[in-house]
Amino acid sequence: MGYPTKVQLIRRKQSQQWYVNFPAQVAQAMDFRAGEVVEWEIEDRGLMGLVRREVPESALKKKRRASSRSSSASPTSAGGPSRRRGPRSGGESSY
């Protein structure tokens, strides 16, 4: 589902500042924190992505891991392979 957002421009005497805000629902779903640093990656003039270099662990994974420790350890919760992607490299993009 998409969330339409307007690009805002603030013009000052000697500078200008561009803003792109996203809805609170998106910030909450992504578990953003105030002051978090992100990067824009530009694919082309029609597509850019917001990249998060430090991704917090999913709250759902934390709950699953805690419940599996109390019952029986499963391969995925006991140090199995991670499905989380790391930072992107160079000019490659998978958007």
User: Over the stretch 67-76, which tens digit does the pLDDT of each residue have?
Assistant: 666 655 544 4
Domain assignment of residue 85, yes or no: no
The DSSP string of 2-40 is: -----EEEEE-SS-EEEEE---HHHHHHHT--TT---EE
| Parent domain of 31 | 7-70
Domain assignment of residue 77, yes or no: no
Predicted TM-score of the model (pTM): 0.52
Domain assignment of residue 20, yes or no: yes
Evaluate if residue 2 carries a pLDDT over 60.
yes
Domain assignment of residue 53, yes or no: yes
Domain assignment of residue 89, yes or no: no
Domain assignment of residue 87, yes or no: no
Return the structure tokens found at 23.
């809805």
